[in-house]
Amino acid sequence: MKQHTYGFNYEVYDDISQLSTADADLLAAARLVTNKAYAPYSKFNVGAAARLENGELLLGTNQENASYPVGICAERVLLGTAATLHPDIPVVAMAISFNTTKEISNHPISPCGMCRQSLLEYETRFHKPIRLIMGGMQGPVYVVESAKQMLPFAFTGEELK
């Protein structure tokens, strides 16, 4: 038997003030758009903001449904919007934030497994990494250079060839 270890590096900032202007602006947009989320059941509003390679900014929010499996996360709403409106322009960075009445939004959240798979597919499609900036409404911020880092042993189109 052999044992292997998987790990990845990520940056941790004390708060948004330590980010570059571009990353801080993207996180601020994600924080602001949480107010547009449709989350009447969980009260867990998630906002995502993406910067495209051409500099354009796109926004997305989670959209819940009384039939829980029918809802969709902010990250996938955003990727679908980007693919529809700008099918040939890659997303180069995405910020994700949340707000809720159930707890203080003072820590980062990361994409769920389904969103990680969707982010990886988008990276593969454009052969470009998506820089992920994750933070609550206040507090520390995590930055990961590529969504691929967050999904070890990923299932990709290579398996379907």
Active-site residues, by number, are: 75
Residue 145, helix vs strand vs coil: coil
Neighbour tally for 30: CB within 10 Å: 28
Q: How far apart are CA 49 and CA 25, in angstroms?
A: 9
Contacts (Cβ under 8 Å, ≥6 apart) of 117: 151, 154, 155
Distances, alpha carbon 132 to alpha carbons 39, 66, 102, in Å: 23, 29, 25
